[in-house]
Amino acid sequence: MHDIKHLDIAAGTPEARRIAYRHIIGNGPTLVFLPGYMSDMAGSKAEALLGAAREAGRPCLLLDYSGCGKSEGDFAEGTLSRWRDEVLALIEERVRGEVLLVGSSMGGWLMLLVARGLGDRLAGMIGIAAAPDFTRWAYDEAQRAALAGGEVIYEYNPYGPEPTPTHPGFFADAERQLQLDDVIPIDARTHLLHGQRDEEVPWKTSLRLAEALRSESIQVTLVKDGDHRLSREQDIALLQSVVHGFY
């Protein structure tokens, strides 16, 4: 990843941080990939999307949220609002024209917040096991009470040796960013992908999201034997096909 660049956000303020990104230019809407919780732009889906965009002459933007991957910052300070602002700042600074958002897991929640900020620049959205409102349905009442009381909670991490932390600041901000209880005022074309063997985000979450979105142009594709990551060769091929349909 020798092509990584950095953008300074909120320079000269206590909120200053450097955001790492990769960007290629081309024709058509810029695909912007939003990784999941504690993930980054080095993942297989991000790499595959960037490679396909380069081959097709399409623009693509990958990034690491502050506190993740190659970006500066403390992960404990990360929130949906903070990361949304970073994505929008990077798009404003580096992207011209329309934007196609692709959000994976938590990135699918963040995708909805970024989409609202883009307004008429939004060309469409693709969700991969999108997980809006997961602070409501993924934690039990004891965990939610602990977070609301200022505690950090830790959960089993199926992708690494260290447990996955959730910080109270993230939780408090997320409770102000809930999406599924009302109509989501986004009219853009949307395609949601979800594996029915997803053990982390129930596949019916994508159906709830499709129902909540105001857009009348929505497709949901369920992969019966697909897991949460949808990163097998056939899953990547499906994702690439969906992306191609937006161009």
**pTM for this model (two decimals):** 0.97
Which pLDDT tens digit goes with each residue over 150-209?
999 999 888 888 899 999 999 999 999 999 999 999 999 999 999 999 999 999 999 999
Q: Cβ atoms within 10 A of the Cβ of 227, count?
A: 17
Catalytic residue among 133, 198, 206, 235: 198
Predicted confidence at residue 125, as pLDDT, reads 98
Domain count, the chain: 1
Which pLDDT tens digit goes with each residue over 89-145?
999 999 999 999 999 999 999 999 999 999 999 999 999 999 999 999 999 999 999
Which pLDDT tens digit goes with each residue over 38-90?
999 999 999 999 999 999 999 999 999 999 999 999 999 999 999 999 999 99
Predicted confidence at residue 162, as pLDDT, reads 87
Which pLDDT tens digit goes with each residue over 219-243?
999 999 999 999 999 999 999 999 9
CA atoms within 13 A on the CB side of 63: 28
**Residue spans of beta strands (DSSP E) within the chain:** 5-9, 17-24, 30-34, 60-63, 99-104, 122-128, 153-155, 164-166, 190-195, 218-223
Predicted confidence at residue 157, as pLDDT, reads 86
Name the strand (E) or helix (H) holding 92.
helix 80-94
Token representation of residue 246: 């937006």
The domain that holds 127 is classified in CATH as 3.40.50.1820
Active site residue 105: yes
Catalytic residue among 85, 167, 228, 235: 228
Answer yes or no: is pLDDT of 1 > 80: no
Residue-number span of the structural domain to which 189 is assigned? 5-244
Predicted confidence at residue 239, as pLDDT, reads 98
Catalytic residue among 105, 173, 194, 235: 105
Q: Name residue 195's beta-bridge partners.
A: 223
Predicted confidence at residue 118, as pLDDT, reads 98
Active site residue 182: no
* Cα 155 to Cα 145: distance, rounded to the nearest angstrom: 15
Predicted confidence at residue 68, as pLDDT, reads 97
Token representation of residue 198: 């997803």
Predicted confidence at residue 83, as pLDDT, reads 98
Active site residue 2: no
